[in-house]
């Protein structure tokens, strides 16, 4: 099983390539969705890394994929600029899934 990265930042892609993770740089919602579709059809990819900024472009799709699909595992990662706190979005997912605010 392989990792794959969808990012909006060339520096993030280069850093991941140093450890053997391939990926693409995109900036638009339609391109993000196209790349996600490609990953969903590639059985060799087990973990999809996607930067926070891109998750913010299509949170509805990402959230549904996380809840309904077991493969690939979708992991939101911050880019070098940081961004919102990922822990907050994890709390939101759990709260939505179990119906209890944490």
* CB distance 8 to 51 below 8 Å: yes
CATH architecture label of 2-98: 3-Layer(aba) Sandwich (3.40)
What tens digit of pLDDT does each residue of 63-88 get? 999 989 889 999 998 876 655 555 55
Q: Give this prediction's pTM.
A: 0.78
| Annotated domain spans of the chain | 2-98
Residue found under tokens 């991941």: 16
What tens digit of pLDDT does each residue of 16-66 get? 999 999 999 999 999 999 999 999 999 999 999 999 899 989 999 999 999
Structure tokens at 39: 């990953």
């Amino acid at each position: 099983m392989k990792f794959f990265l969808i990012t909006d930042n060339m520096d993030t892609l280069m850093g991941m390539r140093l450890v053997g993770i391939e990926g693409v740089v995109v900036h638009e919602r339609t391109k993000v969705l196209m790349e996600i579709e490609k990953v969903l059809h590639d059985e060799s990819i087990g973990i999809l890394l996607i930067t926070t900024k891109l998750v913010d472009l299509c949170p509805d799709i990402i959230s549904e994929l996380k809840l309904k699909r077991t493969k690939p595992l979708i992991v939101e990662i911050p880019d070098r600029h940081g961004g919102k706190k990922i822990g907050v979005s994890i709390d939101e997912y759990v709260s939505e899934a179990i119906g209890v605010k944490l």
